[in-house]
Amino acid sequence: MTETKARIAILGASGYTGSELVRLLARHPRVEIVALTADRKAGQSMADVFPQFGKLALPKLVTIDEVAWAHVDLAFCALPHGTTQQVIKRVLEAAPHIKMVDLSADFRLRDPGAYEQWYGHAHQALELQQEAVYGLVELYRDDIRKARLIANPGCYTTTAILPVVPLIEAGAIEPEGLVIDAKSGVTGAGRSAKESLLYTEVTDGMHAYGVANHRHTAELDQEYSKAAGRTIVPSFTPHLIPMSRGIYATIYAKTGAGVGAADVHRVLTDFYKSEPFVHVLPLGQVPQTRFVKGSNMIVMGVVADRQPGRVILISTTDNLVKGASGQAVQNMNLVLGFPETLGLEQLALFP
Amino acid sequence: MTETKARIAILGASGYTGSELVRLLARHPRVEIVALTADRKAGQSMADVFPQFGKLALPKLVTIDEVAWAHVDLAFCALPHGTTQQVIKRVLEAAPHIKMVDLSADFRLRDPGAYEQWYGHAHQALELQQEAVYGLVELYRDDIRKARLIANPGCYTTTAILPVVPLIEAGAIEPEGLVIDAKSGVTGAGRSAKESLLYTEVTDGMHAYGVANHRHTAELDQEYSKAAGRTIVPSFTPHLIPMSRGIYATIYAKTGAGVGAADVHRVLTDFYKSEPFVHVLPLGQVPQTRFVKGSNMIVMGVVADRQPGRVILISTTDNLVKGASGQAVQNMNLVLGFPETLGLEQLALFP
Amino acid sequence: MTETKARIAILGASGYTGSELVRLLARHPRVEIVALTADRKAGQSMADVFPQFGKLALPKLVTIDEVAWAHVDLAFCALPHGTTQQVIKRVLEAAPHIKMVDLSADFRLRDPGAYEQWYGHAHQALELQQEAVYGLVELYRDDIRKARLIANPGCYTTTAILPVVPLIEAGAIEPEGLVIDAKSGVTGAGRSAKESLLYTEVTDGMHAYGVANHRHTAELDQEYSKAAGRTIVPSFTPHLIPMSRGIYATIYAKTGAGVGAADVHRVLTDFYKSEPFVHVLPLGQVPQTRFVKGSNMIVMGVVADRQPGRVILISTTDNLVKGASGQAVQNMNLVLGFPETLGLEQLALFP
Amino acid sequence: MTETKARIAILGASGYTGSELVRLLARHPRVEIVALTADRKAGQSMADVFPQFGKLALPKLVTIDEVAWAHVDLAFCALPHGTTQQVIKRVLEAAPHIKMVDLSADFRLRDPGAYEQWYGHAHQALELQQEAVYGLVELYRDDIRKARLIANPGCYTTTAILPVVPLIEAGAIEPEGLVIDAKSGVTGAGRSAKESLLYTEVTDGMHAYGVANHRHTAELDQEYSKAAGRTIVPSFTPHLIPMSRGIYATIYAKTGAGVGAADVHRVLTDFYKSEPFVHVLPLGQVPQTRFVKGSNMIVMGVVADRQPGRVILISTTDNLVKGASGQAVQNMNLVLGFPETLGLEQLALFP
């Protein structure tokens, strides 16, 4: 007996998170892609936009308005923030049965005031914002299973929250004074044609950007503060690195009273011991972005700092997989009742 | 009822073709890796050598002598040429039941004289050399199914033979005067620590090497001559490109009398119309290495040259997949009676 | 006694050939940059656009109309083709005393018909087109010294003409059947924000483009045909390589009757023995793009092909230096009566 | 009248700092390279080892014992640490007139105990160690002018000391709790053939290394402690980035009581206002490694952190120029009484 396949739409299929969803879902045994949208490229085939899909049978790119929502079970929304909240509101009003995994930042912040502060305008879908569940699976798995609208976390934040929150909750590190020095591959900036993202502007060099004001900081504030039970203001400095994929977070923290690096390490290994997509390295070892490229893993390490009472946490993800589309599929698996790892077992592509 | 899994050994698991075999076979539903060898790293775990495998349950690295051959059904041999022929001879004498897929160059040349000329010494296992089947699946599928020892083709040669041989056989191009300008990613050179392969010596620049004397030329001679029914001497110039994976062959040919580029294109589309791993682009389109990275595909295009009576063929593979370990698994699937595409359906990782 | 400095304008200073001119001219002992134009960025400082010039005293970016032409001795024109011919016509009508080195393609083709065929419209400044001198110094040095308007050659063409023309003229190679397989770094495409030039679309992979129809081919036709005394139609295939700078041309040719690779090599070493910016490698050696990065050199090698009666020529330049701005300064030195190598003696930046 | 040229020897010319010295000195108007040593490559020409020097007239590579010390005025020593101290001791005993600029770590630490702790053995030339001057020009210019033996600083340390020491001295930042998150290009590791430095192990990814125990930390301890007047223990975490050149240091500091980011910025702009090789960006701007590639500049920026009372300092150098060979030439200019910027005015090579 063949199992019924869930019918999937991808809104915003012509960007990198869209193509990554196709890469993962096209080989997922329990789903069928029934709609792909890309407003400006509607009418083209997905292979026109991403020729690596040339041998797949995929639906043509259409506009969002052309989607037959009645025949969709779950939609991934990979649209720019700001417009996303309006699109999702409209779709869910027209087709409330649909499960929605949103990859934008629009529904990640619980506090409408924080949203307004960081994004410069009032939220346009406040009810949905309150309904949405933050889709960081390892922390919110049970809520996600029951959710209709999931706010898939950002790549920086996935990478910087997972190694830190269990430690704050356990009192193993001090939530004050956290420094997150983060490095990102270039796909994190999407596929839009900007001078600053040209090959010649990015290769063979590096630089910081958005220092002290990157919007992902708002998610860190939210989750760290929730874990600490008080307002936490971390330092977060992103850097652009000449690599396609990968987030690498080097996190400097004070340990709690009487806590050493080995204790910090033990908290993390215990917390994540049953997680299929989290790998805590032996104490003192550090990850490389290469260990996760193309896979849904997060790999993290713990090193004692030379300043007494301090510890260095290092974690890495592929920003397009665990940092975006892979985590979105993981959320989909939960929502649709599939095994959580289904379609997500690719090993890292290295070299 | 669970199907029995074939028991697989990988000889030379610490190199890049070895790790790529593990990447593919660890998720293959019909096999189990029972032995991994790496003489100089025996005793280490595979995760010591390739940390991306840190969450897999894999056998420890051992020496070749430690393998329990009676419990192996098929072995991949990813050892340097020269020593390979002696190792395989020894293993097959001890355990003649074993199917062997060899990734080295040792058993690719049918003519012992050609072997001696290109490799500088007499072949040490002539009987096996005569027994071996050239594992270019799309051309030798039926022979491979019945073979015990398969000589997996080189990466350059896979990429340069598949677009050319059907055209020679059809008389669509002249076999004389062929120019193959080939470009390779750096993994083609393996994982040995040489100054010329350091990051700083390879990045942000390029150069030709082995001009007019690269050993893969011998395979081109053999297969082109076989197709033509006479001795063919192509020009073959490899270049080292700053990319990890990928072979890109730009092939300049005279067309046969009265044959145009559209005819050339039609011959290829007909020849490969049922092949799961061959994608012939529409006439005039050219492939990119990005379309095949991490996948077992070969993508090829045909463009009319501006010199009348000439055509340009362009083809690309991932040298570690269709150019090595993927094709080796494809051969394994044939030999063991599995569906040919099993475990090889990964889509290209782009971006 | 201080020598008077020539007063230099750079039209189109916000692109890569513009910034490369600034890099070279800012340290040139006999010139002073008095005007920098960039229509869309007028009003900004050069350091806003290229922060590496932050410590230099440079004029602000202005529009072309704001330049005080009476106080300019020589202008470099680094504008897009098409508009260039109209700008130069206008400037030279207003200020006929100005020497002009044009880096666009507008004045490179002698034959108005060829221009129209390759660029799709009639030339708008036919008199100037007839006046212009092709600025390939090693072939046209004497004409350049006397010229007012110099058409600086393209990067591909500089690299592919210098190793070939002396051989055609000497009868050492057959001009028919030439195959030029060329590879380019990404700066060759300029600084315009296009999706296809994004870091993530270019890095870690490669592809051919403009196969059999790239516009630089017209320059090859012109110079090869001139050398041969009859119409020559070479094959020319450009490829985009993940490197910032560098052109690499692998050229396949038939040798003349009775001519071997050593003869070919001797013709080139003789022809270029006194040239400061040409380096002919010993017979059988091949260049790397790294040998010329940031320098005004062209390096070339000769290798015997394995097909009898054929030879492989390989040459490389930095597309922004000898392939554009460096050669433009070399032309300026000739026109202004300075020593030809002045300001151009930088050694390659490797690693 | 021609000025006499200083006669220069380079010990260890076959490594990257050696070739970079040749790049700079070959065009320096006041010096002549009279000896190049490379023990294992003695007998070869420099162009065999670095073909970009193929048109230069340079002395052959010889062993150190073959150098005619009587005819040398100044030597650069670019040898591995450990052996360096013995070589320099031997040379200066035989030829005490020679000025010596040492690029190794052997003479950088003032405290023999610190040397022994970080390098694992007692220093073998203690008298010279006491004589040596730390060659960080902007801080020790007057001492350097009178020195015979100069310990050229490390690349990480140059980049991390120059933005910090003036601030500690001015009380603008707290010396305790400093976090230096540093990123390095691959040439920082030299030209030795190690698996971990292969192109395929470094490209398109990144990782931390030497966390909390990198030897350059000892120089930071020394200079920060000297500035503070008490023992300072900073956190220092280096990362390997896929770029050839460049050090990028992101430094997190607490400000002094009542000090804001603008005050911090003012201290630096005042301190460095006359320095030809230091560029302090406007407040809030951040540097890129591209701004310094191939040049002797250090560029630094200051950004207010979002944690109150904290500031982020960012600085960058080319590790082979200001971080090694360029600073060495700057030291040479001081020692030999030349203008400090002579031969060092190259602008950054970008793109």
**Per-residue pLDDT tens for A84-94?**
999 999 999 99
Would you say residue C258 lies in a domain? yes
C8, two tokens: 């230099």
For chain C, helix (H) and strand (E) counts, in that order, are 12, 14
Positive or negative, the Cα torsion across B27, B31, B32, B36?
negative
Would you say residue B336 lies in a domain? no
Same domain, B205 and B88: no
pLDDT at C2: 59
* Nearest CB neighbour to A27, from listed B290, B347, B348: B347
B225, two tokens: 């001559």
- Tell me which residues of chain C have a C-beta less than 8 Å from any C-beta of chain A: 16, 186-187, 191-195, 197-204, 242, 244
How far C244 CA lies from chain B's nearest CA (Å)? 6
Residue-wise over D244-279: b if at least 16 C-beta within 10 A, else e?
bbbbbbbbbbbbbeebebebbbbbbbebbeebbbbb
Nearest-CA residue of chain A relative to D291?
Answer: A205
Q: What is the mean pLDDT of residues A321-333?
A: 98
User: Which uninterrupted H or E stretch holds D34?
Assistant: strand D31-37
Is the model's pLDDT at B1 over the cut of 70?
A: no
Whole-number average pLDDT of chain A: 97
How far D201 CA lies from chain C's nearest CA (Å)? 13
Would you say residue C270 lies in a domain? yes
3-state secondary structure of A37: strand
Same domain, B302 and B185: yes
Which chain B residues are Cβ-neighbours of C211 within 8 angstroms?
A: 286, 303, 312, 314
CB contact under 8 A, B206 and C234: no
pLDDT at B2: 59
Q: What is the mean pLDDT of residues A50-60?
A: 96
Active site residue A155: yes
pLDDT at D1: 46
CB contact under 8 A, C286 and B212: no
CB contact under 8 A, C193 and A193: yes
Nearest-CA residue of chain A relative to C200?
Answer: A244
Q: How far, in Å, are C158, C177, C224, C232, D150 from residue C174 at the CA level?
A: 20, 8, 11, 10, 60
pLDDT at C142: 98
Catalytic residue among D34, D149, D155, D321: D155
pLDDT at D212: 85
How far D40 CA lies from chain C's nearest CA (Å)? 20
Nearest-CA residue of chain A relative to D182?
Answer: A181
3-state secondary structure of B57: coil
Would you say residue C330 lies in a domain? no
D161, two tokens: 């000391």
Catalytic residue among A155, A162, A314, A320: A155
Which chain A residues are Cβ-neighbours of C324 within 8 angstroms?
A: none
Per the omega criterion (within 30 degrees of 0), is the bond before B29 cis?
no
Which chain C residues are Cβ-neighbours of B242 within 8 angstroms?
A: 241-243
Nearest-CA residue of chain B relative to D190?
Answer: B200
Would you say residue D339 lies in a domain? no
3-state secondary structure of A265: helix
CB contact under 8 A, B199 and D195: no
pLDDT at A3: 73
A321, two tokens: 């997989």
Is the model's pLDDT at C112 over the cut of 80?
A: yes
Is the model's pLDDT at C232 over the cut of 80?
A: yes
Residue appearing with tokens 């869930």: A6
How far B196 CA lies from chain D's nearest CA (Å)? 8
Same domain, B31 and B127: yes
Amino acid at C342: L
C144, two tokens: 């350049």
CB contact under 8 A, B306 and C239: no
As a whole-number percent, the residues of chain B with pLDDT over 70 amount to 99
Residue appearing with tokens 């192109």: D199
Is the model's pLDDT at A1 over the cut of 70?
A: no
Same domain, B77 and B183: no
Same domain, D166 and D127: no
User: CA neighbours within 13 Å on the CB side: how many for C278?
Assistant: 22
Which chain A residues are Cβ-neighbours of C187 within 8 angstroms?
A: 200
CB contact under 8 A, A198 and C200: no
Q: Total structural domains in chain A?
A: 2
As a whole-number percent, the residues of chain A with pLDDT over 70 amount to 99
Is the model's pLDDT at B3 over the cut of 80?
A: no
CB contact under 8 A, A244 and B290: no
CB contact under 8 A, B293 and A349: yes
Positive or negative, the Cα torsion across A205, A208, A214, A220?
positive
Is the model's pLDDT at D344 over the cut of 50?
A: yes
CB contact under 8 A, B250 and C239: yes
Same domain, A122 and A245: no
d(C-alpha C20, C-alpha C324), whole Å: 9
Sheet with D207-208: strands ordered across? D207-208, D235-240, D179-184, D247-254, D310-317, D298-304, D278-280
Q: What is the mean pLDDT of residues C86-91?
A: 97
Which chain B residues are Cβ-neighbours of C207 within 8 angstroms?
A: 248, 286-290
Same domain, C286 and C180: yes
A279, two tokens: 């790998």
Amino acid at D96: P
Which chain A residues are Cβ-neighbours of C289 within 8 angstroms?
A: none
D136, two tokens: 């960080």
Q: What ipTM, to 2 d.p.?
A: 0.97
d(C-alpha D170, C-alpha D259), whole Å: 11
Sheet with D6-11: strands ordered across? D61-62, D31-37, D6-11, D74-77, D99-102, D149-151, D133-134
CB contact under 8 A, B347 and A297: no
Nearest-CA residue of chain D relative to C15?
Answer: D351
3-state secondary structure A298-326: EEEEEEECCCCCEEEEEEEECCCHHHHHH
CB contact under 8 A, D349 and C19: no
Nearest-CA residue of chain C relative to B310?
Answer: C235
Would you say residue B151 lies in a domain? no
Same domain, A171 and A313: yes
Shortest CA distance to B281 belongs to which of B269, B271, B292? B269
Tally C–D CB contacts below 8 A: 82
Sheet with C278-280: strands ordered across? C207-208, C235-240, C179-184, C247-254, C310-317, C298-304, C278-280
Non-local CB neighbours of C166 within 8 Å, separated by 6+ positions: C267, C268, C271, C272
Nearest-CA residue of chain D relative to B192?
Answer: D195
Residue-wise over D103-142: b if at least 16 C-beta within 10 A, else e?
bbbbbbbeeeeebeebbeeebebeebbeebbbbbbbbbee
d(C-alpha D100, C-alpha D308), whole Å: 47
Which chain B residues are Cβ-neighbours of D20 within 8 angstroms?
A: none
How far D254 CA lies from chain A's nearest CA (Å)? 10
Q: What is the mean pLDDT of residues A14-19?
A: 98
Range of the domain at B35: 6-131
Question: Domain with C194 in it: what CATH number?
Answer: 3.30.360.10
pLDDT at B212: 85
d(C-alpha C255, C-alpha C55), whole Å: 53
d(C-alpha D63, C-alpha D36), whole Å: 8
Q: What is the mean pLDDT of residues D107-130?
A: 95
Which chain A residues are Cβ-neighbours of B350 within 8 angstroms?
A: 19, 50, 52
CA A93 and chain centroid, separation:
26
Would you say residue A52 lies in a domain? yes
The residues of B annotated with a catalytic role in the active site are 155
| Other Cβ atoms within 10 Å of C145 Cβ, number | 16
* Nearest CB neighbour to B195, from listed D186, D193, D204: D193
Same domain, B118 and B257: no
3-state secondary structure of C11: strand
Angle at C184 between CA C183 and CA C186, to 5 degrees: 150
Sheet with A61-62: strands ordered across? A61-62, A31-37, A6-11, A74-77, A99-102, A149-151, A133-134
Amino acid at B252: Y
Question: Domain with B32 in it: what CATH number?
Answer: 3.40.50.720
Same domain, B11 and B123: yes
For chain B, the distance separating the N- and C-terminal CA atoms, rounded to the nearest angstrom, is: 40
Same domain, D57 and D174: no
Name subunits touching D (3+ CB pairs < 8 A): A, B, C
Shortest CA distance to A152 belongs to which of A207, A99, A205, A192? A99
CB contact under 8 A, C203 and A204: no
Would you say residue B341 lies in a domain? no
CB contact under 8 A, B52 and A26: no
Task: Report helix angle D326-335 to D137-145, nearest 10.
Answer: 30
pLDDT at A212: 85
C299, two tokens: 């390096």
Same domain, A122 and A184: no
How far D20 CA lies from chain B's nearest CA (Å)? 14
Which chain A residues are Cβ-neighbours of B320 within 8 angstroms?
A: 351
pLDDT digits 0-9 by tens, A265-313: 999 999 999 999 999 999 999 999 999 999 999 999 999 999 999 999 9
Interface test with A, best of C48, C192, C199, C201 (most A CBs within 10 A): C199
Which chain A residues are Cβ-neighbours of B187 within 8 angstroms?
A: 351
Shortest CA distance to C336 belongs to which of C67, C145, C165? C145
Nearest-CA residue of chain C relative to D344?
Answer: C27
Non-local CB neighbours of D104 within 8 Å, separated by 6+ positions: D77, D78, D79, D80, D81, D84
* Nearest CB neighbour to B200, from listed D187, D200, D201: D187
Bridge partners (DSSP) of residue D33 are D8
How far C153 CA lies from chain B's nearest CA (Å)? 22
Torsion, Cα of B185, B189, B192, B197 (10° steps): -50
